Amino acid sequence: MSLKDKLTKNNLKRGIVFASKVGDFVENRIGKAIEESNFNADILPENPEEMKWYKVPLEKGMAGDGSEYHIYIKKASSENLCIFLSGGGVAYNEYTAARPVTGGKVAAGLPNYYWNNLRPFTQIMNINVGITDIFTDKNPFKEWSFVVITYATGDFHVGNNEYPYKGEDGQDNVLHFHGYINFLESMKVAKKLFPNPKRLLIAGNSAGAFAVPALAGEIADDYYPNTKNITLFSDSGQLPYKHWKKTAKTIWKTKEPLWKAIGGENITLEWYKALYSKYGNRFRYLYSSSVYDYLLSAYYNDIVNRKYKTDNDIQKEYYNGLKEMVAELKKLTPDFGMFINDWRIPLITMGGTVHTSVREPHFLLFTQDGITMAKWLEDACNGRVYDVGMELLKEAPPMNRHEIRKLKEKIDEK
């Protein structure tokens, strides 16, 4: 290796280390500020106030690293309830299990796959943003009651296993895939506080989007059998992987009906197929995605190319996969409502488009075809299901670098 290459490599390493330290510092400062502020959620009292977020520690709950687990609830005067399944990545083998999310890894662009605990920083991911915002009248769900089932297990809320792995430091560790146990304990709280809602929204973003079709039937049958008005909403749940069935069966150790339902690479689609075959039109069905999801495309790139990053090529593959997924969901029922967008946020979406919107500020602010996602979701919960942004799926995706090179070669030949 030349001296120049060695210097470049050393500078790159120093840059990654510096960015990692800065990222951890920022996360810790934000977490400390939350703990010391009035925004820190209090523990649920015996007589909770309305329109206030509370934290509910669950004695039998557990985060992926073995630490304490809690959920968030908010009581409101209406008889509407949202069960929200939070997102936060996925672990599907020993390599991903060994690389949980930290602020440092995110800042340095290093592989980081899932949140493995509920530290103070994670509160800002779960409450008072997007659909959970209680401070703005622009939020049509402000007056709904909420149970936010937090996520820190990497198993799409369906795991029930103790998974041994070696950390990046070579030490033996265990990832507690307790997502399903946490879900069951959370639903006990939900049923006690909100025994008979007239209208129910079961929603989830990212990892929670995958969980919605996996758990919706159980929520309806075992906890709210008398609630007839039920809407399901998955926000950004597309990650093709040919080993999902093996992962669900042997790594997460889900219930048998869940792993048996997986017959293809798109686990969300497979679970919606199984759900619809059993329940038909008992539910309203909704799905949303941006066209070039920068984060899910990076996950997919890691699966197929071992590159944890997004680029134009992999975003195009995501786009084509999205077209296929939407078509398949529409085959289940043409009433499957879609919200497709091409929203971009400079410096964050890395040339692609946003990853999830329902618990982001742009849930209330951005529009597609002149309609906010908040308005679209409100209409659906009121029985008016329709599609937004479907024209985006009729466009040809931009050419990748290989196609551009071939086109130039053809022009040069002529």
State the sign of the Cα–Cα–Cα–Cα dihedral 106, 122, 90, 335: negative
Judge whether 1 lies within some domain: no
Q: Are 131 and 42 in contact (CB under 8 A)?
A: no
Judge whether 171 lies within some domain: yes
Judge whether 9 lies within some domain: no
- Residue 246, classified by CB atoms within 10 Å of its CB into exposed (0-12), middle (13-18) or buried (19+), is middle
Judge whether 5 lies within some domain: no
Judge whether 75 lies within some domain: yes
C-beta pairs of 242-249 under 8 Å, 24+ apart in sequence? 243/92, 244/92, 244/270, 247/92, 247/93, 248/158
Per-residue pLDDT of the chain (414 residues; tens, 9 = 90+): 554 444 333 433 444 333 334 444 444 554 455 555 556 899 999 999 999 999 999 999 999 999 999 999 999 999 999 999 999 999 999 999 999 998 667 676 788 999 999 988 889 999 999 999 999 999 999 999 999 999 999 999 999 999 999 999 999 999 999 999 999 999 999 999 999 999 999 999 999 999 999 999 999 999 999 999 999 999 999 999 999 999 999 999 999 999 999 999 999 999 999 999 999 999 999 999 999 999 999 999 999 999 999 999 999 999 999 999 999 999 999 999 999 999 999 989 999 999 999 999 999 999 999 999 999 999 999 999 999 999 999 976 665 555 555 545 655 554
Q: Are 121 and 103 in contact (CB under 8 A)?
A: yes
Judge whether 80 lies within some domain: yes
Q: Which residue range(s) make up the domain with 357? A: 41-413
> Can you tell me the distance from the alpha carbon of 19 to that of 8, in angstroms, rounded to the nearest whole number?
16
Judge whether 7 lies within some domain: no
Judge whether 8 lies within some domain: no
Describe the chain by its helix, strand, coil percentages, rounded to 5: 45, 15, 40
Domain total of the chain: 1
CATH of the domain at 309: 3.40.50
**How many CA atoms lie within 13 Å of 61's alpha carbon, on the beta-carbon side?**
25
Reported as type and span, the H/E element at residue 229 is: strand 229-235
